[in-house]
Structure 1
Amino acid sequence: MWALRRASVPLGKRGFSIGASRTCFADSDVSVMYIQDKATIFDSPYLTSDRCVPFKRFYRTERASGNLFVCRRGLSSEAGTKSSGEEEELEDGFSELETPASADAVHQSNSEDENDDELISEPDFSDDDAEPSQNELELSYAENDTSERRSPKKNTASALFKAIMASPGLSVQSALDKWVEEGNELSRAEISMAMFNLRKFRMYGRALQLLEWLEASKRLEFVERDYASRLDLIAKVRGLQKAEHYVDKIPKFFRSELIYRTLLANCVKANNVKKAEEVFNKMKDLEFPITAFACNQLLLLYKRLDKKKIADVLLLMEKENVKPSLFTYKMLIDTKGKSNDITGMDQILEAMKAEGVEPDTHTNAILARYYAYGGLKEKAEAVLKEMEGADLKENRWACSSLLPLYAELGKVDDVGRVWKVCESKPKLQECMGAIEAYGKLNKIDEAEEVFDKALNKWKKRLPSKIYSVLLKVYANHKMLAKGKDLIKRMADNGCKIGPLTWDALVKLYVEAGEVEKADSILQKAYQQNQIKPMFSSYMVIMDEYAKRGDIHNTEKTFHRMRLAGYTARFRQFQTLVQAYVNAKAPAYGIRERMKADNIFPNKSLLEQLRQVDAFKKTAVSDLLD
């Protein structure tokens, strides 16, 4: 652990004053505690491997400690580095580390962290390869009469789920009443699979109605996890305030750590730091334990909101003897990679192996991606060969990651070789990886061939997310006409167009120089659907307005992000200030606005602020004074 913390701080800047650190603790991700109780509805794999230790109350850091700043600076640079999740935010969940990493360029805007778990990929029932996120698995029901965790790949057909989906509109209650009237069994196993599928396709409203009906009709005796699952769904569907009120209605006996972790997770997901701190302190008052998973989620929160504090979490883990997990190392490696600190990334990898934790395929994909971005092609190739193993056919699961990574290195032959392994019977993720790869290699025809192969296989059942991948290829190559045709094909095939597709469409128009059209499309999509667009969609538009020095529209986009539910980020203010710089106009009150949002400038932003300071001293102003 000491080695890991040292790896998080650059040489010459080590030093930490624990007395100067006042950190707020927060846990993210949805209620995920594993308790071996076969009578309960769902379980999660985490608690069995977590070391539980008592924790103390921590408070939000008030950016006043010099020593703390020295230590935490080593973890990341806030200077416009790419983030795969929000202000970085992938969202989505720290989802970018729970799914195969995509090979986006480091220099791209901090776009997807907010969309980790906010990544509202349209629910396509046709997606044969679709699986719920790890969070959904953890909150899905498990059969109470089996000794093993139910596989998400098997037996996922549910008659109850089909009955709910066949009900008119969103009237789940009528479908359930009819189900019971017809004499159908309402077992935990059936409920398990219905909930699994509802969460899988992010139909949280219907899932909530199912639980509400079960509780109201007393068809099921609720236990701790049932209450936690309903709490999570209330937070997702109706917001944190309603979720808080529901906690008070839960019988006191069942208001366990799982309940508060569920609430805390949703606070973190909403990036509500104040509320997360309140819930955490409530957990402290109730003397609940802290786990390695909780530390990981705190790392996730700070990765989104304040990467400088990551070192604080590592110090806390060291002090409390909480052993880092593979997920911990993944986040740290990814954070180092984003800040272009390859040496620090390698140090964390060494510390990880020294602890006996071997990198999995996704960790290797992260390493290869950042080696490629850093120009270390030989190291990247070595990692990719390790991912392939002796026989790529046996390691088929690595192909979807290998394709875009080889493309990042410009390895046309290797992309073709890997795709040949998949071509005869491709999976959806492999098709998406191949389209992305050929797009990076400027081989549009080959990308379209892969898309057509997927379309022939899945026909009109082809998920909208694969359209979005090809749409981004067109956007990157400024092929507006082809992009428009593809959108029409999506509509003709009945694809649901949601945030992922909006994002690709926005980038398509921005790349074509039509930022006003992109802005209009995004605004209409949000107003008509009332679904939160992706962080990156707004930032692409905001960046373009800022380049033009268009202060009015940059400010308008900034405001729209707030209305959509995005809290202010360093990245947004950086772009906003740049708009004033490019317009050669003073930014009155900008420092006060940043302070109000708890945003503190780094060196580069301070220079930007100096340029737009309405009251800055010049040689002429001194003479006039």
Structure 2
Amino acid sequence: MWALRRSSNPLKSGRISLRFAHTASAKLETSSYYIKEKAGLFASSEAIQETCISLLRFYHSRHASSNIYIGRRALSSKAGAESKGEEDDLEDGFPELETPASAEANDYSSAGEENEDELLSEPEHPGDDEDVEEPVENELELSEIETIPDEKKTSKRGAYSELFEAIVSGPGNSVHKALEKWVEEGKELRREEISLAMLNLRKRKMFGRALQLSEWLQENKKLDFNERDYAARLDLIAKVRGLQRAENYIEMVPKSFRGELIYRTLLANCVFFNNGKKAEMVFNRMKDLEFPITAFTCNQLLLLYKRHDRKKIADVLLLMEKENVKPTLFTYKTLIDTKGISNDIAGMEQIVEAMKAEGIEPDLYTQFIVAKHYASGGLANKAEEVLKEMEGDDLTQKRWACKYLLSLYSELGKADEVGRIWKVCESNPRLDECLAAIDAWGKLKKIEEAEAVFEEMLNVWTKPSSNSKYYSALLKVYSRNKMVEKGKDLVKRMADSGCRIGPLTWDSLVRLYVEAGEVEKADSILQKAAQQNLAKPLFVSYMTVMNQYAKKGDVHNAEKMFHRMRQAGYISRLQPFQALIQAYVNAKAPLYGIRERMKADNIFPNKSLVAQLAQVDPFKKTAVSDLLD
């Protein structure tokens, strides 16, 4: 950890305002090498962990901190202000188990409940072409896992469940009928079987059916609900029906079960849906209820601020220090990824070394993050060194690494290595490996190879023929390579196979037409998709079109797209404002009332946006205007 202190560059000291429950406020001055306490800041604290102090010093050396109230564990921040307009979002079932997930969250809460399962059966969030998958910390799935006997907790977490098969054998709205039939046939509904079925439903992102299962069990008194069961229901409601319905559900949970697990589930879903304001409200509520500050809670805040306000990361580290919360592997992963995104490779390496010094070895996904940032930073040799570590001596014994290796070698332009890795998988390919191979060959402009993998995937599995996720992988390749006609033919093939056209496919089509220069056609697709009222288009789909209008200085269409995004529920985000203002900048036109509009959405400009605002300020002073005045 001393390496972090030595390597940090001295910058201006940041000040954090601290408020304690029983003491006056104190100020903390920080620099790259020391933390100076004033007014007996930590007089009442227990021994402070060296790890947190070192990380805190490191981050304060790079970022000036904004106000955050820590003494009462209350947050008061500007989480709406994003860094570089990045919109990473997490996905994946219950917000507890630490697993990687794609970027760009999409809130389906506006959809009709009768289509819940259909809306959520396909992964909601495709990442941008160059995104690093974002880690997700999940622990609450213990509500389903802990009740499964050890002998059934195999490496295949989706062990066979007869109840699961009965639930998915019919249409999405027949869960209750399937359960009633199960009971009529005299079969038992043991907690073990329920847990396994729920686990399988979550693994396949069939959140709508999982919610129906939970509701039926409680309504028919087939399961004595405990806090974990209520937390699981809360999570499903948030995923399917939105945060507000989930928040309302807490009032229905018996007080004896309204513990820390319930509120941290809501907090994680607020982060899932990128609702920084509500996340901080939930955190403050947890503080008022005097729940302990845990690593999970802090990691959720780190994840939130990584996306929206990286200067606040130092504040979370300070909170961890004060509450004596030890950083976890997930903490380090998030900090490593944050440094990589900021192109601070030296800082990223220092955090890796700090993690190792604490006895925490990088797992496969952490290595993937590091190699990804090396590759994007032009450090090909360093990236390849990490790839060799990931591969080990025998790749056949580390098949789970193949999908990462395929992606990273394509980033480095290593077609031979992609071919070598694919040969290891080809005789018995897994779905995630096929998807990674299609994407890798597409990045290398090897279209025929990508198509061959796609066809092989359809021949091996029947499921892809009815799931748009798999078609979208190839459609993304056509989009990236501006192959409009092939893209159109593939969409027709999707329709003929009975595949549901949803947000993922819409996004691929939008990108396809934008890459081909047909922005108006992409706009039309978005509008028609929104009018179907089954599921709203992804945030990135709107931004793809809006950014094109901004480049052209097309103020009228940029305003129109901005309004449509608000209608879809994408509000209080910095990126749409950035694109809108850029449209006026490129049109060399003044923009009246924009500061008021931002203030109404609780949006606070970062440095780049301040510069943009100055260019469209209708009342700005110039040398000529001063003379005329």
- Residue 409 and residue 526 in structure 1: after superposition, are their counterparts in 2 closer, same or farther (change >3 A)? same
Q: Is the 8 A contact 1:117 1:269 kept in 2?
A: no
Residue in 2 that maps onto 1:577 = 581
Aligned residue for 1:19, secondary structure, equals strand
1:562-584 Cα deviation digits (max 9, x unpaired): 23232332322221111111111
Once residues 300 and 373 of structure 1 are traced to their aligned partners in structure 2, the CA distance between those partners, rounded to angstroms, is 21
1:278 aligns to 2:276 (yes or no): no
Which amino acid is the alignment partner of residue 266 of structure 1? N
- Residue 375 and residue 116 in structure 1: after superposition, are their counterparts in 2 closer, same or farther (change >3 A)? farther
Q: Is the 8 A contact 2:468 2:501 kept in 1?
A: yes
Displacement of 1:546 after TM fit?
0.7
Residue in 1 that maps onto 2:456 = 453
1:382-401 Cα deviation digits (max 9, x unpaired): 11111111122222211111
Q: Is the 8 A contact 2:484 2:513 kept in 1?
A: yes
Residue in 2 that maps onto 1:587 = 591
Aligned residue for 2:230, secondary structure, equals helix
Once residues 314 and 407 of structure 2 are traced to their aligned partners in structure 1, the CA distance between those partners, rounded to angstroms, is 32
Once residues 74 and 379 of structure 2 are traced to their aligned partners in structure 1, the CA distance between those partners, rounded to angstroms, is 41
- Residue 399 and residue 322 in structure 1: after superposition, are their counterparts in 2 closer, same or farther (change >3 A)? same
Once residues 2 and 232 of structure 1 are traced to their aligned partners in structure 2, the CA distance between those partners, rounded to angstroms, is 41
TM-score by length of 2: 0.81
Once residues 176 and 217 of structure 1 are traced to their aligned partners in structure 2, the CA distance between those partners, rounded to angstroms, is 10
Match of 1:381 among 376, 381, 384: 384
Once residues 349 and 307 of structure 1 are traced to their aligned partners in structure 2, the CA distance between those partners, rounded to angstroms, is 19
Residue in 2 that maps onto 1:68 = none
Q: Is the 8 A contact 1:140 1:195 kept in 2?
A: no
1:192-232 Cα deviation digits (max 9, x unpaired): 12222332333333322222222122122111111112222
Match of 1:431 among 415, 430, 434: 434
Displacement of 1:149 after TM fit?
7.3
Residue in 2 that maps onto 1:239 = 242
1:85-138 Cα deviation digits (max 9, x unpaired): xx243456899x965688xxxxxxxxx4435999977449xxxxxxxx874971
Q: Please tell me the root mean square deviation across aligned C-alpha atoms, in Å.
A: 3.2
Work out the number of aligned pairs and report it. Answer: 559
Residue in 1 that maps onto 2:37 = none
Aligned residue for 1:157, secondary structure, equals coil
Once residues 199 and 459 of structure 1 are traced to their aligned partners in structure 2, the CA distance between those partners, rounded to angstroms, is 21
Residue in 2 that maps onto 1:57 = 72
Match of 2:400 among 381, 397, 401: 397
Aligned residue for 2:445, secondary structure, equals coil
Match of 1:78 among 76, 83, 91: 83
User: Matches of residues 253-268 of structure 1 in structure 2 within 5 Å?
Assistant: 253-268=256-271
- Residue 206 and residue 441 in structure 1: after superposition, are their counterparts in 2 closer, same or farther (change >3 A)? closer
- Residue 62 and residue 245 in structure 1: after superposition, are their counterparts in 2 closer, same or farther (change >3 A)? closer
1:291 aligns to 2:265 (yes or no): no
Residue in 2 that maps onto 1:69 = none
1:328 aligns to 2:339 (yes or no): no
Residue in 1 that maps onto 2:105 = 114
Residue in 1 that maps onto 2:48 = none
Match of 1:471 among 470, 475, 479: 475
Match of 1:604 among 590, 601, 608: 608
Aligned residue for 1:290, secondary structure, equals coil
Once residues 499 and 545 of structure 1 are traced to their aligned partners in structure 2, the CA distance between those partners, rounded to angstroms, is 21
Gaps of 5+ in 1: 23-50, 64-71, 103-111, 125-132
Residue in 2 that maps onto 1:192 = 195
Once residues 16 and 189 of structure 2 are traced to their aligned partners in structure 1, the CA distance between those partners, rounded to angstroms, is 54
- Residue 514 and residue 487 in structure 1: after superposition, are their counterparts in 2 closer, same or farther (change >3 A)? same
| Aligned sequence identity (%) | 67
Q: Is the 8 A contact 1:271 1:567 kept in 2?
A: no
Once residues 188 and 77 of structure 1 are traced to their aligned partners in structure 2, the CA distance between those partners, rounded to angstroms, is 43
1:554 aligns to 2:558 (yes or no): yes
Relative contact order, CA 8 A, sep 6+: which one is greater?
A: 1
- Residue 155 and residue 539 in structure 1: after superposition, are their counterparts in 2 closer, same or farther (change >3 A)? closer
Aligned residue for 2:378, secondary structure, equals coil
TM-score by length of 1: 0.82
Aligned residue for 2:145, secondary structure, equals coil
Q: Is the 8 A contact 1:101 1:365 kept in 2?
A: no
- Residue 514 and residue 155 in structure 1: after superposition, are their counterparts in 2 closer, same or farther (change >3 A)? closer
Which amino acid is the alignment partner of residue 423 of structure 2? K
1:510 aligns to 2:514 (yes or no): yes
Match of 2:536 among 511, 532, 538: 532
Which amino acid is the alignment partner of residue 89 of structure 1? D
Once residues 589 and 401 of structure 1 are traced to their aligned partners in structure 2, the CA distance between those partners, rounded to angstroms, is 47
Residue in 1 that maps onto 2:11 = 13
Displacement of 1:304 after TM fit?
2.5
Match of 1:342 among 329, 340, 345: 345
- Residue 169 and residue 145 in structure 1: after superposition, are their counterparts in 2 closer, same or farther (change >3 A)? closer
Q: Is the 8 A contact 2:519 2:545 kept in 1?
A: yes
Q: Is the 8 A contact 2:487 2:512 kept in 1?
A: yes
Q: Is the 8 A contact 2:108 2:241 kept in 1?
A: no
Q: Is the 8 A contact 2:591 2:616 kept in 1?
A: yes
Once residues 546 and 568 of structure 1 are traced to their aligned partners in structure 2, the CA distance between those partners, rounded to angstroms, is 19
Q: Is the 8 A contact 1:91 1:114 kept in 2?
A: yes
Gaps of 5+ in 2: 21-51, 53-69, 110-117, 124-135
Once residues 61 and 285 of structure 1 are traced to their aligned partners in structure 2, the CA distance between those partners, rounded to angstroms, is 14
Displacement of 1:11 after TM fit?
1.1
Residue in 2 that maps onto 1:353 = 356
Once residues 460 and 163 of structure 1 are traced to their aligned partners in structure 2, the CA distance between those partners, rounded to angstroms, is 17
1:443-483 Cα deviation digits (max 9, x unpaired): 11121122122122224644432321211111111100001
Which amino acid is the alignment partner of residue 59 of structure 1? A
Match of 2:501 among 484, 497, 501: 497
Residue in 1 that maps onto 2:67 = none
User: Matches of residues 66-145 of structure 1 in structure 2 within 5 Å?
Assistant: 78-79=83-84, 83=86, 87-91=87-91, 112-115=103-106, 122-123=121-122, 135=138, 138=141, 141-142=144-145, 144=147
